Amino acid sequence: MLKYCLTAVAAAAAIATPAVAQEDSEPFTGPKVEAVAGTDGGLILGGGLGYDFQRGNIVFGLEGEALTSTDRDCETLDSTIQDRLCARTDRDLYAGGRIGFAVGAGTLVYGKLGYTNLRLDETYDPGTAPGTGFDIAYSLDGVRVGGGIEHKLGGSLYVKGEYRYSNYEGGAWKHDGVAGIGLRF
């Protein structure tokens, strides 16, 4: 079985080699890895993997991403006892697709759509009041839409800027703005 797998990998590499030589004719084709940073009220940091297919000026892609954020919102509920309720974004996972249009030399304008899952931590500090606080973590499923611009810098290096809107169950939502840098193989 291993012999057949190695043969298949070797055949795929032989087929893919001419595609690497055609890099300039389809600059947005191939697997990619990227790092992103931005804001959603706090600092966003994360990374992603994907694969794009370019046919003419049209680009189709599949992508996945994992992010973490420093966004934290706290509110004092009763100023006499100084109790506080805080919500903190822990991590955000995304899987989806994108479609774009190659404009000019090495520039892609695209839209995206996919599934997102946000982990949210809520804590309650009772302040000076007797009783106990709590710390609850839960996940929210949602849909993400967005758009961006990606530009090839040379070789396999590219940069991007992107806006996203995520709508989660239970009426939760968030806006993100990110910049990224990546490599396409």
Predicted pLDDT of residue 94: 98
Q: Does domain 29-184 have CATH number 2.40.160.20?
A: yes
Predicted pLDDT of residue 72: 87
Query: Is 176 a residue whose pLDDT tops 60?
Result: yes
Query: Is 79 a residue whose pLDDT tops 70?
Result: yes
**3-class SS of residue 17:** helix
Predicted pLDDT of residue 53: 96
Predicted pLDDT of residue 29: 94
Q: Determine the Cα–Cα distance for residues 40 and 67; give it in Å rounded to an integer.
A: 11
Q: Determine the Cα–Cα distance for residues 114 and 112; give it in Å rounded to an integer.
A: 7
- The percent of residues in the chain predicted with pLDDT above 90, rounded, is 64
CB atoms within 10 A of CB 57: 11
Q: Determine the Cα–Cα distance for residues 179 and 115; give it in Å rounded to an integer.
A: 20
In this structure, the dihedral spanned by the alpha carbons of residues 29, 30, 36 and 41, taken in order and rounded to 10 degrees, is 60
Predicted pLDDT of residue 24: 61
Predicted pLDDT of residue 8: 38
Q: What is the mean pLDDT of the chain?
A: 87
Predicted pLDDT of residue 183: 97
Query: Is 13 a residue whose pLDDT tops 50?
Result: no
The highest-confidence range among 4-13, 121-130, 165-174, by mean pLDDT, is 165-174
Predicted pLDDT of residue 89: 87
pLDDT tens digits, one per residue of 106-148? 999 999 999 999 999 999 998 887 778 899 999 999 999 999 9
Kindly state the average pLDDT of the residues 3-24: 41
User: Which tokens is 8 given?
Assistant: 């298949």
CB atoms within 10 A of CB 162: 19
- The percent of residues in the chain predicted with pLDDT above 70, rounded, is 87
Contacts for 178 with CB less than 8 Å, ≥ 6 apart: 36, 37, 38, 39, 44, 161, 162, 164
Predicted pLDDT of residue 2: 35
* H-state helical runs in the chain: 2-21
